[in-house]
Chain A
Amino acid sequence: MNINLTIIGQAIAFAIFVVFCMKFVWPPITAALAERKKKIAEGLDAAERAERDLQLAQEKATENMRKGKEEAAAIIEQANKRANQIIEEAKEKALEEAGRVKAAKQAELEMEVNQAREALRAQVAALAVAGAEKILEASIDANAHAQLVEKLAAEL
C-alpha cells in the first residue's frame, strides 16, 4: 500500500474517460432524452386536441341528427296535410261532378218528359178531335175548336 506512480496513471486514465464521456457519450444520449421528452409532450398535446375535436364533432353530429329529425317530422306533417287536402279536393270535385251529372240527367229527363207530354198532348188532341168527330159524326172545324182542344189537353 505505497503511494507511487499509479496515482498519476489513475488520474490520467480518469481524465481520459471523463473527456471521452463528455464528448461522445453524454451529449447524444441526453439529446435523445430531450427529444423524446418533447415528442411525448407533443403526443399528449395532440391526444388532448383530438379528444376535444372528437367531442366537438359528436356535439355537431347530435345537433345535425336533431335537426334532421325535426325536418323529417315537418315534411311528414306537411305531406299528411297535403294528402288530406288532396282527398278533400277530390271529394269536392266528385260531389260537384255528381251534382252536374245529376242535373244534366234531370234536365234530359225533364225534356223527355216534356217531349212525351207534348206528343201525348198532340195525340190526345188528335184523339179527342177524332173522338168528337166520331161522336158527332159531323165535321167540326178543327181550327174553330182548336182553343177548346188545347184547354182540354192542358188539363190532362
Chain B
Amino acid sequence: MTENVRPATASAATDAVVEVRGVHYAVGRREIFAGLDLAVRRGRVTAIMGPSGTGKTTLLRLITGQIAPASGEVRVWGERVAHLGRRELFALRRRTGMLFQNGALLTDLDVFENVAFPVREHTNLPEPLIRELVLTKLHAVGLRGAARLMPSELSGGMARRVALARAVVMDPELLIYDEPFVGLDPISMGVIVRLIRQMNRVLGITSIVVSHDVHELAAIADDSYLLSQGRCVASGSPEDLRRSDSEVVRQFLDGVADGPVPFHYPAPDYRDELLGGTGRMRIGGRA
C-alpha cells in the first residue's frame, strides 16, 4: 500500500541534498526496504517517521554510507554514497553531522574535549581558537558550565545536547538526528526540539530527523515521510499528514494498536498453540 499525500519526492529533486531512489535492502531473509524513494530538500527539516522496526535507522546508515543498498541508489549532494572510496566518503562525512540516539560521547574525554574532538582531528587551529569555538557551541546548547564534566556525570538530556554541540562544531551542511527525543523528560525534549529548529534556521543547515514522536516532529518538520513495510507510504508537510485519511497514516498518527501495521508478530493460531502446548504438558506429566 503506497499513498503519497503530496508527491514531494519528484518535485524536490532539483534542490535535493539527499535522494533515495528504488532502494532495496535486506538483513538475512528479512526485507527492510522494497523500493524506497524519498528526497531531502536543502535548508529544510525533514522528518522520517514510522513504527519501530521499519528501518528508519537503517535508512540513516544507508545515507551515511555505513551500509550499501542491495539495489537502487542513495545520493548525497549528487554523489552515489555506496560507490565512494574511503577518502571521498570521509570528505562527505566532514560536511555532515550526526546526533546518535544515545549521544555516543567518547567516555574517556570530558565534555569540552568531546566537542573539541572533531576540531582537533581535522584542523590545526591554535588552542585559544579551539577553546572559543567549543565554548560558543556549548553556550548555544546551554552547557558551557558543564565543560569539565565527564559523560558519566551527565543526564540523558545533557548528553544529547553535548552530542548536538559536537555534531555542529565543524559547521556541517547536513545534520542527521537519530531518535533525538527517546528517553527525554518533557523539559529536555522541549530544549532539543527548540535547538533543532534553531540550528536549522540560524545556521541554514539541512536536517533529517528520524523519530516516531509525532507531536514533536510536527512542531519542527517542513517535510515528513512515513515509512512502513519497506516503503514510503506517505509524504508531505506534517499538516498534510494530519489531514490524510490513509489507514496506515491514521493508525500511526492516532496511535491505534492494530491496523495495517499488525499488533501481533506473525504467529500460529493462538487457540491451537495453547491447546497444543497443554496437551504436550499433560503427556509429559504422565510420562
| Chains A and B are bound partners | no
